[in-house]
């Protein structure tokens, strides 16, 4: 192979050609979207057109779609803006943007398949003195496991709680409708859909008593984003995000499912365990655990063979440690032996076959 095969889409998808094209066009446009003259108005209208695309694809309201610097900021803004005096409850397998936020937290356990324990959630809500702000990710970045968000939202609202959903890994890969999910807020990020890094959005449900009427901002400034997020908007990034949303949702993902299944079948034949296999998962994600070799050994061997995979969240980059996600799932014995293979939107069958050969050689050696 002349260049490494990239199989780390859950860290960041390759940027789509159509996204680059739209961003280049926007880079040639001069003007501040807050200016009232003709060039400023042109920028403003391009941003609002992009906002409409994003809101429409995710079942949100245009006026409640707030552009941010990415998924992490969207998560933190959702918590900062809606928590107020509510206690904070977070799933045991959440992204570090939420799990490491500096607030006291109640941890919601997950099953061995990595799914939030709805029975525990309901019992806790029944006993709660103050309705909490609950944070659950739609799809886990390491295993691809999908949480039952609709059921969780129904429980939360029955007991007066709010539900924020980190949909960063799921956006662009499965259909997401904020109104159907029933969540109060939703975080997404462009670079997980084949868009640019550094741009994301927070969508607020129209019925969200906190979000639809007001949202305490992290950044004050010139009143941008209806006063919810100060700072001059990054026009090229926003335009790129809108194009990534469009492109990702017209892509046929049948081939990706076939390639993921082929990788998992081959890995299991050689003794690997697919973590979360029994749950509903993203079509591109495999968490493969092989007790014979440490995660670091596997990562290095595959890297030397020309394949880019990971051991978990890219936001813990530089760290090859036991997976907290697998530990939360009760799979402590596998937590130091797992890698994540996440297929990008442009992966092909030849690359998949080459990876299978390399993986099988690696575990057999």
**Domain shared by 172 and 318, yes or no:** no
Task: Clarify whether residues 137 and 102 are in a common domain.
Answer: yes
Q: Which of 248, 264, 299 is at the close of a domain?
A: 248
H-helix segments, 86-234: 96-99, 118-127, 149-158, 178-181
* pLDDT given for residue 84 in this prediction: 87
**Rounded Cα gap, residues 250 and 363, in angstroms:** 37
**In the listed set 197, 221, 248, which residue is the last one of a domain according to the structure?**
248
Does position 314 have pLDDT exceeding 60, yes or no?
Answer: no
> What is the percent of the chain with per-residue pLDDT over 70, rounded to a whole number?
95
- Domain-ending residue, one of 248, 279, 310: 248
Would you say 273 and 140 are in contact if contact means Cβ atoms under 8 Å apart?
no
What's the CA gap between 199 and 342, in Å, rounded? 21
Quote the number of domains for the chain.
Answer: 2
The predicted-structure confidence for 31-72, as pLDDT tens digits, reads as follows: 999 999 999 999 999 999 999 999 999 999 999 999 999 999
Tell me, yes or no, whether 212 and 335 share the same domain: no
Q: Do 146 and 218 sit in the same domain of this protein?
A: yes
Give percent of the chain above pLDDT 90: 89
Q: Is the pLDDT of residue 104 over 90?
A: yes
Residues 242 and 331 in one domain: no
Does residue 1 carry a pLDDT above 80?
no
Q: Using alpha carbons, select from 160, 70, 164 the residue that is nearest to residue 108.
A: 164
Give the model's confidence band at 80: pLDDT under 50 very low, under 70 low, under 90 confident, else very high: very high
| Same-domain pairing of 308 and 351 | yes
- Average pLDDT for the chain: 94
Three-class secondary structure of residue 246 per DSSP: helix
**Residue 229 shares a structural domain with residue 307:** no
Q: What is the pLDDT of residue 257?
A: 97
Same-domain check for residues 201 and 325: no
Question: Residue 88: its pLDDT value, please?
Answer: 98
Q: Find the helix packing angle between 17-27 and 235-248, rounded to 10°.
A: 160
**Residues 6+ away with beta carbon under 8 Å from 85:** 130
pLDDT bin (cut points 50, 70, 90) of residue 213 is: very low
The secondary structure of 48-67 as a DSSP string is HHHHHHHHHHTT--GGGEEE
Q: What is the CATH number of the domain that holds 277?
A: 3.90.1150.10
- Separation CA 157–CA 33 (nearest Å): 37
**Close Cβ partners of 332 (under 8 Å, ≥ 6 residues apart):** 322, 326
pLDDT of 210:
46
Mean local confidence (pLDDT), 155-175: 97
Tell whether the model's pLDDT for residue 241 goes beyond 90.
yes
- pLDDT at position 318 is 52
Same domain, 224 and 104: yes
Integer Rg of the chain from CA = 21
Six token digits for residue 222: 């010139």
At 206 the pLDDT is: 83
User: What pLDDT, on a 0 to 100 scale, did the predictor assign at position 312?
Assistant: 67
Within this chain, do residues 233 and 294 fall inside the same structural domain, yes or no? no
Q: What is the pLDDT of residues 110-130, one digit of tens each?
A: 999 999 999 999 999 999 999
Active site residues: 315
For residue 219, give the CATH number of its domain: 3.40.640.10
What does the pLDDT read at residue 322?
84
Q: Where are the beta strands (DSSP E) in 141-222?
A: 162-166, 185-189, 200-204
Q: What is the pLDDT of residue 207?
A: 67
pLDDT band at 311; cut points 50, 70, 90: confident
Question: Which domain range does residue 221 map to?
Answer: 17-248
């Amino acid at each position: 192979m002349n260049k490494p095969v990239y199989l780390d889409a859950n860290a960041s998808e390759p940027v789509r050609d159509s996204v680059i094209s739209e961003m280049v066009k926007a880079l040639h446009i001069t003007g501040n979207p807050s200016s009232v003259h003709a060039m400023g108005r042109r920028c403003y209208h391009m941003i609002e057109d992009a906002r409409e695309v994003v809101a429409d694809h995710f079942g949100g309201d245009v006026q409640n779609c707030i552009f941010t610097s990415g998924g992490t900021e969207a998560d933190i803004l959702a918590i900062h803006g809606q928590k107020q005096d509510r206690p904070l409850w977070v799933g045991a397998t959440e992204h570090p943007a939420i799990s490491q936020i500096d607030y006291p937290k109640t941890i919601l356990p997950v099953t061995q398949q990595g799914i939030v324990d709805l029975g525990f959630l309901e019992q806790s809500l029944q006993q709660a003195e103050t309705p909490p702000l609950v944070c659950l990710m739609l799809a886990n970045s390491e295993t691809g496991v999908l949480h039952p968000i609709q059921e969780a939202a129904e429980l939360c609202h029955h007991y007066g709680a709010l539900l924020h959903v980190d949909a960063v890994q799921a956006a662009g890969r499965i259909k997401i409708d904020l109104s159907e999910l029933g969540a109060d807020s939703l975080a997404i990020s462009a670079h997980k859909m084949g868009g640019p890094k550094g741009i994301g959005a927070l969508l607020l449900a129209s019925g969200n008593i906190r979000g639809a009427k007001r949202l305490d901002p992290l950044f004050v400034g010139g009143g941008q984003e209806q006063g919810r997020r100060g700072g001059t908007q990054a026009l090229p990034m926003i335009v790129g995000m809108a194009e990534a949303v469009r492109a990702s949702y017209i892509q046929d993902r049948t081939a990706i499912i076939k390639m993921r299944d082929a990788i998992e079948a081959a890995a299991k034949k050689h003794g690997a365990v697919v973590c979360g296999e029994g749950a509903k998962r993203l079509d591109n994600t495999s968490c493969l655990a092989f007790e014979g070799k440490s995660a670091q050994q596997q990562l290095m061997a595959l890297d030397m063979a020309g394949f880019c995979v990971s051991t978990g969240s890219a936001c813990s980059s530089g760290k090859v440690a036991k997976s907290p996600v697998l530990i939360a799932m009760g799979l402590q014995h596998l937590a130091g032996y797992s890698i994540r293979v996440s297929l990008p939107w442009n992966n092909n069958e030849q690359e998949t076959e080459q990876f299978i050969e390399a993986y099988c050689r690696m575990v057999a050696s």
